[in-house]
Amino acid sequence: MNKAEAGSGVWFRLVTLAATAAVALTACGTTTGPGGSTAAPPPTANMKPQTEIGPGEGQLNLIAWEGYTDTSWVKPFTASTGCKVNAKYAGSSDEMVTLMAGGGGGQWDMVSASGDADLRLIYGGDVRPMNPDLIPDFADFQTYFKTPPYNTINGVHYGISLQWGPNVLLYNTKKFPIAPTSWSVLYDPANKGLITVPDNPIQIADAALYLMSTQPNLGIKDPYELNQKQFDAAIALLKQQRPLVKKYWPLAGDEIQLFANGDVMVGAAWPYQTITLQAAKKPVADTIPTEGATGWGDTWMLATNAPHPNCAYLWTKYVSTAKVQAQQAIFFGETPVNSKACSQMEALSAGSCKQYHADAVSSYFDTIKFWKTPIATCADGSTTCIPYSTWQTAWTSVTSS
């Protein structure tokens, strides 16, 4: 499509820029590590994180997902630390990036960013390294979430992992008495007008994940690192899907309404929608198909100019404890990163530990491809991967057609 041509100016410049930087760095003898690191280090890479937590400043300004600062665990925190929590809820990862980029003057302390936003915040210089030694519960975190590629670059932690969850296939049990085993139901013309998909550019990765098993000759290894050919194949698949889609849902609540009213029968969703719909006695269930799933991992990240860093560390320390991790997991329908939270979850709601895979063994995490910002530099150091800005324009061309 002309889409690629239109974006090629910016694309070409970015490639040239990244390539120049890569050459310059190689000349200096620096190697770039795997796992989504780019040639140029993040602007805040050399900022030394604090080594102790001082007395709280009395205030804490957070950008969070709705439900992440529920009074049931915020109240005890304020009572014990004196840090008053002021939260602004963001509606999307992109809004979080925009808010953080606009709050450079030191308005915000922390953001509960998801993996698709993290690298943008890190390379935008909006967040700074954090010291996990100040978080006692960090030692109990699942190994994957100590250094996930979306928030840790060259061993530097740009934030402390919080919770995670898979992107599931949600379906109406009346329409599908037997659980679908493949994401193919979302690309099947038989379900025309009954499908809903999130209105989010990162959805291209879901198409790429599906192509990994249906078109192995494309050679997709990581759905967030796509070369031009793989990217074009994913976009072509999404353009085929577009006439089948009833609606691209903007907010979780919209998808809940679509399923509740019977406008759609199958779609990509979060466990949160399933829990809410099942609580309302709607005939729905969710599943992770055989191709695996994408997922999100959230991280509390510290703003570069955070005005209340001590309260920020106190908060991170607090939300990493098994009890608060379990509380939040049950409240939101997601999974704690603290492996000790399992028993606490069972105490709050029997069976929830298993339901949310809080006891998952490390091999389980190989089936979940966690969101991370697509960048031009691939894992092998080449700069042939399609960056997020191109994902965005391509997504607009898919959903607008």
- List interacting residues with other proteins (CB under 8 A): 1-3, 5-6, 9-11, 13-14, 92, 94-95, 97-98, 101, 120, 123-125, 193, 201, 242-243, 245-248, 250, 257-258, 261-263, 375-376, 387-390, 392-393, 396-397, 399-401
Distances (CA, A) of 26 to 42, 154, 306: 17, 16, 34
Taking the complex as a whole, how short is the minimal distance between the CB of residue 179 and other proteins, in angstroms?
23
State the Cα–Cα distance between residues 392 and 140, nearest whole angstrom: 37
Closer of 133 and 263 to other proteins (Cβ): 263
Q: How far is the CB of 52 from other proteins (least distance, A)?
A: 32
239 vs 340 by CB, closer to other proteins: 239
Beta strands in 177-332 (DSSP E): 195-198, 245-249, 266-269, 284-287, 293-303
Contact 114, 164 (CB under 8 A): no
Please state the closest distance from residue 255 (CB atom) to other proteins, in A: 12
Closest distance to other proteins from the beta carbon of 27 (Å): 22
Angle at 135 (CA atoms; ends 131, 136), nearest 5 degrees: 135
Whole-number minimum distance, CB 394 to other proteins, in Å?
9
Nearer to other proteins, 11 or 318 (CB): 11
Unique residue bearing structure tokens 């939300």: 319
For the chain, the residue count is 401
Estimate to the nearest angstrom the gap between the alpha carbon of 182 and the chain centroid.
Answer: 22
Q: Is 338 helix (H, G, I), strand (E, B) or coil?
A: strand
Q: Do 156 and 46 contact (CB within 8 A), yes or no?
A: no
Neighbours of 221 (CB within 10 A): 11
Q: Based on CB atoms, which residue is closest to other proteins, 58 or 250?
A: 250
Among residues 140 and 199, whose Cβ is nearest to other proteins?
199
- The minimum distance between CB 174 and other proteins, in angstroms, equals 13
- Dihedral of the CA atoms 282, 283, 287, 289 (nearest 10)? -130
The end-to-end CA distance of the chain, in Å, is 12
Owner of token pair 């191709």: 291
Contact present, 293 and 209 (Cβ < 8 Å): yes
CB of 279 to other proteins, least distance (A): 19
Identify whether the C-beta of residue 182 lies closer than 8 Å to the C-beta of residue 290: yes
Check: CB of residue 264 under 8 Å from CB of residue 191. no
Instruction: Report, in Å, the least distance between residue 124 CB and other proteins.
Output: 4
Q: What is the nearest approach in angstroms of other proteins to the Cβ of residue 335?
A: 26
User: Cβ of residue 257: shortest distance to other proteins, in angstroms?
Assistant: 8
Tell me which amino acid residue 122 is. Answer: I
| Residue among 71 and 261 whose Cβ is closer to other proteins | 261
Beta bridge partners, 88, equal 63
In this structure, are strands 266-269 and 168-172 parallel, antiparallel, or unpaired? antiparallel
Number of other CB atoms surrounding residue 123 within 10 Å: 20
Looking at beta carbons only, is 1 or 347 nearer to other proteins? 1
Shortest approach of other proteins to residue 11 CB, angstroms?
Answer: 7
Q: Are 385 and 226 in contact (CB under 8 A)?
A: yes
The number of helices, as runs of H, and strands, as runs of E, in the chain is 15, 15
- Hunting for tokens 């719909």 — which residue is that? 277
